[in-house]
Structure 1
């Protein structure tokens, strides 16, 4: 414990010393369009909305994916505790752009503070959270230690730590620090038993580690506006006479593999449309521009163009629509695993939409999503098809397009596996939060209600 405190003091001094450089870096990111033009000071702990009276729980997620898995938990908490204030923070601008218009109005949305002593102190002093719920792998020393010093209970949901980070934290230099940080949590709910073992090896107290299921199975459809729904329905109509497949969450370099497969399929299925959904919108625009220069007839989603008879590639350069887009295709190839060193992506949304799911294995496993692939295959062996590379992917897609019985069997298997694995997860998480985190808040909320009622009676 003493060596952990020494390591933390060194980290705190270093993070304080480089604070001016971090501010300059944020301004540079703002100039490049990577931070919000008006609200970037929130990253320094400066609030832009009022702190409402009463108990407040702070949910923190980095990007859109982590934010989406927090929403079902937040909604369940608000149903059980309607008087609860919820503050949600995210880090990325893309997550803010999607969530700011789609979160329930009672949730306060802010950008998260950077992990410098001044920013964290300013943030905590203003918002005064009664509890903090961190999503997945947000382990920041100043945040965790300052929250503990202020008596704020903390939970880590869908907790995971990558193999690279595990190797880093488990070294003799950083192990005392991570052990100290993990000891400050009241609850760690790992997304898999393998992840739970990693946290135990990092010396997290065993009694705070409780498995509840992977929250990525319960990502909700946070909905589109009327215009968005009409647009999806219109696209569905345009694709109704086509053979459709989708390659989603594609990273740079993976599009070359997808386009190669597309060329082979076109020779056998001239009526085919390939939907490409890159991880980042700008990448989609680059792919579309390149394909147009090569003479392909491409439609870019943000331009809302209609598919022509000769259109065979549809490129998505928008965010927050993946769940709806999966409903347009019977087959989904999930990216992020085509090239060595990649960690894969969430397959549950495709399963929820009833897609036949394919993943490409470039190495031993698909990063931290390997447990999801394994769970679904154990639930139903036909639910996820793993292929070894481009040639096997081509063969598998041809089989699916030419064998309707096989395609329907795989679609049905994915849906059944998803339904089985997604049941009761939010209820399990609520039970854990209620026991480890919220039990103390109920008494505070009752006290707050009694005080408010007394003041109201006195005023009248």
Structure 2
């Protein structure tokens, strides 16, 4: 890709978003959130005398990776203002009121003029891009001002454009970064092949985040009353494809089930209630009933899932039958054996690792779930799987500390 092609791509991407916005809510939010961004940015930062650190996340998953570093930075350097940007509405709209950041905005489209203006207004002293974010004009604008630019929780794969013969333009983007904090050794080897050596394997900051959640879990008395000492399976980030596999299992099982859909849509939740033969209720309805009388609880709000896993003996994590597996580190932290679909989990290192270690299983069908659940239910197997998962998370913590040590050295110069 050349600069001309890159700029053409950005232009047509903007056009596509504009054309889709009347028909697609996400596209509409994408545009509305960027409307008059320059003036809103100037207004927000008007009068600010504090140094600014800029964190950029593509969406919600990357936010969870950046969050422990943001919070550690805020604690270590309280004199700094944290400026947080998102690319996607699915991140911004959920976390636009996050109290760990002083300013929260959408990232403008990556054009030369936008990037120069943005950096001139924000005036960051240090910049953190999380995982996959490699924007040409923004990285160039930061690099030209000699601002430290760090990529954290980064992971590379051989199939990415950087490692193709036609990827020289994209490699130039990588070479603007001051330092890479990588998730695994394979990523380091790939960068070494490009003669990019300002990197280290520090791990994934998500481990620090989920471990902190486990250390201070929220108490949910309504969930405890629903559970009522019954063995419970937590179904996290469920899609229709996951429920299609789970329905027969739920209907015949002696377990209780707590289901947190990936998207809170009435038609999806209503369809579940019709398909389940067991007594089913939504979380919002619990105050009007005796929770102990129900076997299936559907969570009809956002934000509870990470705390729900504390109340489960088993977890089924959604997404792997479709776009991709959701977060399995949260249930792993609580020492829960994990099931997930068999179609799309290979990109997630933790899924591969936990399958090999014996703490998780990928499931192709209802029949396979029933069979594998029987295996996991045996006391000795269950205890081993539980310990494997908890140890896996604990042994992979520490990335945030490494990033902060480096940051302190840079800022002390």
TM range (shorter): 0.7 to 0.9
TM superposition score normalised by structure 2: 0.84
1:159-207 Cα offsets, whole Å, 9 max, x none, are 12467xx34454443x011111111111112212223334445x3x431
1:359-412 Cα offsets, whole Å, 9 max, x none, are 44347xx2321x22454567xx343345554423212223444x3444334223
Native 8 Å contact 1:250 1:334 kept in 2: yes
1:134 aligned counterpart, secondary structure: strand
Q: 2:269 maps to what in 1?
A: 288
Matching residue within 339, 342, 350 for 1:372: 350
Q: 1:412 maps to what in 2?
A: 387
Q: Give the C-alpha shift of residue 112 in structure 1.
A: 2.0
CA distance in 1, matches of 2:324, 2:30: 28
Q: 1:95 maps to what in 2?
A: 91
Q: 1:249 maps to what in 2?
A: 237
2:315 aligned counterpart, secondary structure: strand
Native 8 Å contact 1:68 1:220 kept in 2: no
Q: Give the C-alpha shift of residue 22 in structure 1.
A: 6.4
Q: 2:153 maps to what in 1?
A: 158
Q: 2:319 maps to what in 1?
A: 336
Native 8 Å contact 2:21 2:27 kept in 1: no
Native 8 Å contact 1:102 1:222 kept in 2: no
2:171 aligned counterpart, secondary structure: helix
User: Structure 1 18/395 Cα, relative in aligned 2: closer, same or farther at 3 Å?
Assistant: closer
User: Structure 1 130/19 Cα, relative in aligned 2: closer, same or farther at 3 Å?
Assistant: farther
Q: 1:196 maps to what in 2?
A: 188
CA distance in 2, matches of 1:278, 1:162: 30
User: Structure 1 345/221 Cα, relative in aligned 2: closer, same or farther at 3 Å?
Assistant: same
Q: 1:187 maps to what in 2?
A: 179
CA distance in 2, matches of 1:36, 1:178: 25
Native 8 Å contact 2:235 2:318 kept in 1: yes
Native 8 Å contact 2:65 2:204 kept in 1: no
CA distance in 1, matches of 2:150, 2:76: 18
1:428 aligns with 2:402: yes
Which structure 1 segments of 5+ residues have no match? 444-460
1:253 aligned counterpart, secondary structure: helix
TM superposition score normalised by structure 1: 0.76
Native 8 Å contact 1:162 1:368 kept in 2: no
Matching residue within 141, 148, 168 for 1:146: 141
CA distance in 2, matches of 1:23, 1:344: 26
How many aligned positions are there?
A: 406
User: Structure 1 37/313 Cα, relative in aligned 2: closer, same or farther at 3 Å?
Assistant: farther
1:131 aligns with 2:119: no
Q: 1:326 maps to what in 2?
A: 309
CA distance in 2, matches of 1:43, 1:303: 40
CA distance in 2, matches of 1:94, 1:109: 14
User: Structure 1 222/95 Cα, relative in aligned 2: closer, same or farther at 3 Å?
Assistant: farther
1:320 aligned counterpart, secondary structure: coil
Q: Give the C-alpha shift of residue 309 in structure 1.
A: 5.7
1:216-264 Cα offsets, whole Å, 9 max, x none, are 11115898xxxx967x22121221243310222333422211223323x
Q: 1:211 maps to what in 2?
A: 201
Native 8 Å contact 1:338 1:389 kept in 2: no
Q: 2:103 maps to what in 1?
A: 108
2:117 aligned counterpart, secondary structure: helix
User: Structure 1 72/154 Cα, relative in aligned 2: closer, same or farther at 3 Å?
Assistant: same
Q: 1:446 maps to what in 2?
A: none
Mark the structure with the bigger radius of gyration.
1
Q: Give the C-alpha shift of residue 34 in structure 1.
A: 5.3
2:44 aligned counterpart, secondary structure: coil
Q: Give the C-alpha shift of residue 294 in structure 1.
A: 4.2
Which structure 2 segments of 5+ residues have no match? none
Q: Give the C-alpha shift of residue 350 in structure 1.
A: 0.9
Which 10-residue stretch deviates more, 192-201 or 61-70?
192-201
Q: Give the C-alpha shift of residue 148 in structure 1.
A: 2.1
1:207 aligned counterpart, secondary structure: coil
User: Structure 1 286/218 Cα, relative in aligned 2: closer, same or farther at 3 Å?
Assistant: farther
User: Structure 1 256/30 Cα, relative in aligned 2: closer, same or farther at 3 Å?
Assistant: closer
2:311 aligned counterpart, secondary structure: coil
Q: 1:177 maps to what in 2?
A: 169
Q: Give the C-alpha shift of residue 29 in structure 1.
A: 7.6
Q: 1:298 maps to what in 2?
A: 280
Q: 2:56 maps to what in 1?
A: 60
CA distance in 2, matches of 1:32, 1:358: 30
Q: 2:359 maps to what in 1?
A: 383
